[in-house]
Amino acid sequence: MSKEQQDAILVTSHLGIDFGGLTAVDEFNISIAPDEIKGLIGPNGAGKTTIFNLLTKVYQPSRGRILLDGKDTRSMSPVQVNHAGIARTFQNIRLFDKLTVEENVRIGLHAHVKYGMFSGIFRLPAFWKEEKRAHERTLELLDIFGMADMAGVRADSLPYGAQRRLEIVRALATEPKLLLLDEPAAGMNPSETEELMKNIRKIRDEFKIAVMLIEHDMNLVMGICENIVVVNFGKIIAEGTPTEIQNNPQVIEAYLGGRKEEN
């Protein structure tokens, strides 16, 4: 293992998954540094979200392994992966619709609020102390995205952009070491996207965590990612800095379509 890999927060080697006869992801090898912002791009259907689902163990890999902070996640459940340090958002927003903004974030804090069921039922001192702390922490987290004043609003009545931001706040509440963002800017207008870019950088700098994001908005990807991985048909076709990726002929071919080979 190289020096770079030893320091990495996440290393995958030969990672792959098959659905029936279809190989969705194959030979996926990456390493993410503890404070890196990495982009994962590729055409539609390239397997980007599948990779996120593998990393968070929503899918069990068919091959290869994932080392999270040096620990193999082979036998972990999605919940354990979260406790071990990966949090994520979803491409098709998955909020707790009937709950308020504050409650959504509080669920992210679940593992970090320390009182048991009986303290909750009998309202023991631990309940009041931890509830107060959790409430303050929730408002702090919401404040990063300027959403503290929406704490009491039901999640499904938020505008689309705010729902995306709330998902990020909820993910941050779980105190991850690696944050996976699945199309965070989808449906946002240019000024919201601009704001989001600033916030992603702010999150990385303040929380000292790694961020990996899937995004189709190339301004965002090229603007904030230090490294970019390009996948097509489940395989990595290029990896490098934004400038390298922009000039890579294979990437251009994958996005724009290559010349047809003559038989």
CB atoms within 10 A of CB 150: 19
Q: Pattern 133-172, binding to another protein, x per CB under 8 A?
A: -x-----------------------------------xx-
Helix (H, G, I), strand (E, B) or coil at 97: coil
Instruction: Using alpha carbons, list the distances in angstroms from residue 256 to 6, 60, 107, 250.
Output: 37, 32, 42, 10
Q: Which is nearer to another protein, 212 or 254 (CB)?
A: 212
Instruction: Using alpha carbons, list the distances in angstroms from residue 106 to 16, 100, 111, 159, 249.
Output: 34, 10, 10, 20, 46
Residues 28-57 that bind another protein (CB under 8 A): 56
Stretch that binds another protein, among 37-45, 105-113, 195-203, 236-244 (CB under 8 A): 105-113
**123 lies in the site for another protein, by CB under 8 A:** yes
**263 lies in the site for another protein, by CB under 8 A:** no
CB of 86 to another protein, least distance (A): 9
Residue type, 214: I
Residue 84 and residue 176: Cα distance in Å, rounded? 8
Number of residues that bind another protein (CB under 8 A): 36
Of 77, 219, 243, 246, the one binding another protein (CB under 8 A) is 77
Of 13, 18, 35, 120, the one binding another protein (CB under 8 A) is 120
Q: Which is nearer to another protein, 100 or 248 (CB)?
A: 100
Beta strands in 20-84 (DSSP E): 22-32, 37-41, 63-68, 71-72
Ramachandran quadrant class, 90 (left: phi over 0; alpha: psi -120 to 50; beta: rest): beta
**113 lies in the site for another protein, by CB under 8 A:** yes
Q: Which residues are within 8 A (CB) of 160 and not within 5 positions of it... i.e. 6 or more apart? A: 93, 187, 188
**108 lies in the site for another protein, by CB under 8 A:** yes
CB of 236 to another protein, least distance (A): 24
For 218, the enclosing helix (H) or strand (E) is helix 218-224
For 168, the enclosing helix (H) or strand (E) is helix 160-173
Stretch that binds another protein, among 11-19, 71-79, 206-214, 247-255 (CB under 8 A): 71-79
CB of 159 to another protein, least distance (A): 18
Which positions touch another protein (CB under 8 A)? 56, 58, 77-79, 82-83, 87-88, 90, 94-99, 103, 106-108, 110-111, 113, 115, 117, 120-123, 127, 130, 134, 170-171, 173-174
